[in-house]
């Protein structure tokens, strides 16, 4: 087996990659056509940018004999844009024109009326700390989208307003946030997002064997597929049977991402529920990957606000009393308080 590169992702997970792992599980398109050089470029970009391709933060795309393309998920841009100390805020939207009119409108969001209005492009503004004026950027739709004979968008542009707004925002973000340079979204590279390999895999690497979903793939099975590897140590050859991995087509977050969200919330379910309700979600497993990072950011902000209030002297005494009551109920410190106990204490707590 080729050497394994290990590094920490931006979110703190340990990522283990090798040329073999990437070719077998992380190539969108035709893995047999991708070269070792293209794989190594992808691996080094993920390592340098601290991206986790197992959480769909980066994709290696290869079709036919065309050069491979490296694509980054929108979540990476939004997370870094939201967390960057250089950024104080941003706005983004679409550029439209009513049919029969010469007036061009720069509109917030992505709503327009097809048939009555023509979508022309997208725009964005980013306020950078210390700069007098926001950085403004606009893009023209016709530079990216292609239409068929019926004047309908070709595959890959089914949500043209949302997508062209995204292009305008991520291009602007690259100018403002240095960490985002050399990273591109599918629309900029003429790649249909539906063709990307959206995997939902929990994995770990052990010496001498790879593991996915806790199951060793050396001589065992994954998702019903038998995997047999015969190694000739003298000639270092590997014979493999075709394998399949589970593909998450729902575009919702993984179990690992849901666990990370609970970790950010410090186990306080009521904070998560409050934010989910704001975004129209009932359960964590319904969360779209497009909304995941902004939800994590808001949860983290609420936790910080709660901790600041809890640090107030008048509240520390009450919290101590809460823990004493919990102890009398036989609860461990790491266990959540019973709802009945919380109801009894709710009126006493000033926050």
- Which band of pLDDT confidence, cut at 50, 70 and 90, is reported for residue 279? confident
192-196 average pLDDT score? 66
193 and 186 Cβ atoms separated by less than 8 Å: yes
31 and 64 Cβ atoms separated by less than 8 Å: no
Could you give the 3-state DSSP secondary structure of residue 272?
Answer: helix
Could you give the 3-state DSSP secondary structure of residue 196?
Answer: coil
pLDDT at 234 over 90: no
Cβ-Cβ contacts under 8 Å for 263 (sequence gap 6 or more)? none
pLDDT number for residue 159:
85
113-121 average pLDDT score? 92
Taking alpha carbons only, the member of 205, 217, 213, 211 closest to residue 248 is 213
pLDDT tens-digit readout, 155-193: 667 788 999 999 999 999 999 988 888 888 888 887 766
Taking alpha carbons only, the member of 184, 205, 204, 181 closest to residue 196 is 184
pLDDT tens-digit readout, 256-277: 788 888 888 887 888 888 888 8
268 and 303 Cβ atoms separated by less than 8 Å: yes
pLDDT tens-digit readout, 25-74: 899 888 889 999 999 999 999 999 999 998 889 999 988 888 898 989 88
127-151 average pLDDT score? 85
Mean pLDDT score across all residues of the chain: 75
pLDDT at 86 over 60: yes
Comparing 99 with 229, the larger pLDDT belongs to 99
pLDDT number for residue 227:
36
pLDDT at 335 over 60: no
pLDDT number for residue 249:
40
130-139 average pLDDT score? 93
Q: Which of 283-292, 324-333, 339-348 has the highest mean pLDDT?
A: 283-292
Q: What is the 3-state secondary structure (H, E, C) of 212-237?
A: ECCEECCCCEECCEECCCEEECCCCE
15 burial class (0-12, 13-18, 19+ CB within 10 angstroms)? buried
- Which band of pLDDT confidence, cut at 50, 70 and 90, is reported for residue 122? very high
pLDDT number for residue 345:
47
Q: How far apart are CA 252 and CA 182, in angstroms?
A: 26
- Which band of pLDDT confidence, cut at 50, 70 and 90, is reported for residue 240? very low
pLDDT number for residue 320:
63
Q: What percent of the chain has pLDDT over 70?
A: 67
- Which band of pLDDT confidence, cut at 50, 70 and 90, is reported for residue 151? low
């Amino acid at each position: 087996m080729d050497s394994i590169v290990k590094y920490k992702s931006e979110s703190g997970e340990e990522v283990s990659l090798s040329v073999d792992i990437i070719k077998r599980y992380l190539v969108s398109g035709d893995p047999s056509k991708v070269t070792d050089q293209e794989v190594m470029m992808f691996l080094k970009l993920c390592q340098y940018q601290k991206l986790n391709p197992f959480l769909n933060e980066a994709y290696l795309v290869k079709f036919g004999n065309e050069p491979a393309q490296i694509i980054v998920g929108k979540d990476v841009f939004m997370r870094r844009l939201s967390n960057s100390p250089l950024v104080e805020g941003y706005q983004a939207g679409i550029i439209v024109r009513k049919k029969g009119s010469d007036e061009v409108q720069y509109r917030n969001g992505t709503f327009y009326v097809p048939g009555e209005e023509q979508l022309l492009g997208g725009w964005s503004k980013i306020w950078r700390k210390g700069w007098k004026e926001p950085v403004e950027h606009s893009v023209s739709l016709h530079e990216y989208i292609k239409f068929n004979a019926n004047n309908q968008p070709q595959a890959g542009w089914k949500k043209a307003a949302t997508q062209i707004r995204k292009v305008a925002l991520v291009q602007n973000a690259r100018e403002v946030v240095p960490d985002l340079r050399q990273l591109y979204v599918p629309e900029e590279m003429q790649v249909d997002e539906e063709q990307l390999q959206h995997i939902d895999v929990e994995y770990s690497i052990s010496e001498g064997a790879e593991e996915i979903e806790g199951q060793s793939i050396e001589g065992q099975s994954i998702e019903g597929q038998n995997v047999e590897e015969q190694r000739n140590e003298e000639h270092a050859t590997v014979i493999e049977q075709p394998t399949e991995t589970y593909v998450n087509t729902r575009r919702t977050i993984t179990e690992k991402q849901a666990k990370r969200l609970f970790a950010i919330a410090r186990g306080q379910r009521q904070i998560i529920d409050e934010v989910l309700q704001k975004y129209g979600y009932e359960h964590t497993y319904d969360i779209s990957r497009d909304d995941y990072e902004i939800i994590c950011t808001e949860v983290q902000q609420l936790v910080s606000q709660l901790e600041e209030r809890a640090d107030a002297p008048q509240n520390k005494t009450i919290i101590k009393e809460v823990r004493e009551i919990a102890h009398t109920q036989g609860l461990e410190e790491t266990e959540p308080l019973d709802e009945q106990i919380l109801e009894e204490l709710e009126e006493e707590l000033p926050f």
